[in-house]
Amino acid sequence: MDNLLSIEEVKSFLGVEDPELNQLVQVGKLHAYKIGGTYLRFRKEEVLSLKQEYPSGKKPRISLPWFVRMRDFWRFNNFYILSLVLIAVLFFIVIRS
């Protein structure tokens, strides 16, 4: 257990917040381990190597693939997109009548 760091330890060590840490895991720069199905832990060696890649003061720049960005865009905006399409269809039907 001494070889694993908690989420709070990793965030303070790397100087990142929750969304940035989640993106680091999602992109694959850090590998997260679940212990007991609830808590995420990170290997100390991976965190140290990531810290060495990015000197102090510089945060890791995370570039997500386009399909991940589109999936997230759809996930957070699907209600608005579908509502706009429905309104446009209804508007077209009313105008044509």
Render pLDDT for 32-72 as a digit per residue (tens, 0 to 9): 887 776 667 888 898 888 888 766 556 666 677 888 889 88
The b-or-e profile of 33-42 (16+ CB within 10 A means b, else e) is eeeeeeebbb
DSSP state of 55: -
- What residue has token string 């044509």? 96
Percent of the residues in the chain that have a pLDDT greater than 90, as a whole number: 25
Domain chopping of the chain, boundaries: 1-62, 64-97
Distance in angstroms (rounded) separating the CA atoms of residues 88 and 17: 40
In the prediction, which pLDDT does 51 show?
Answer: 82
Average pLDDT score, the chain: 83
Quickly state the pLDDT bin for 14 (edges 50, 70, 90). Answer: confident
The mean pLDDT value for 14-40 works out to 80
